[in-house]
Amino acid sequence: MSGEQSKGEGAMVDLDYEVVVDTESGTAVLTCGGEVMWSSADDPDYAEEFEGEFIDIDDNDQIDDVVDWLVEKGYMPPRVEYDIVDLSESMDKLH
């Protein structure tokens, strides 16, 4: 998916946010400008909220819930565009 937008009030900013999903482990990281800003595997608050749920890149509702949570926790600004990236597909392109 490309060009999704987080919900909420806020200014549009010109930064590249990506939610990178590891489809094998069901985990995700949030990157901004190529830097890792957050990791589901390393966040106890996330684990408690989502009970260690496997992140399915094809489940739009689940991805929306994760992004809304990231906005609520301050990891992403509201109304910012972001891309969903499949880690395994990205790695395949590098080979």
Alpha-carbon Rg for the chain, nearest whole angstrom, is: 13
Distance separating the N- and C-terminal Cα atoms of the chain: 22
Alpha-carbon distances of 15 from 35, 45, 92, rounded to whole Å: 11, 25, 25
Residue 13: per-residue pLDDT = 47
Residue 6: per-residue pLDDT = 61
- Please give the sequence-ordered ranges of beta strands (E in DSSP) within 1-95, or none if there are none: 4-5, 17-22, 27-32, 35-39, 81-86
Which residues of the chain carry a pLDDT beneath 70?
Answer: 1-14, 91-92, 94-95
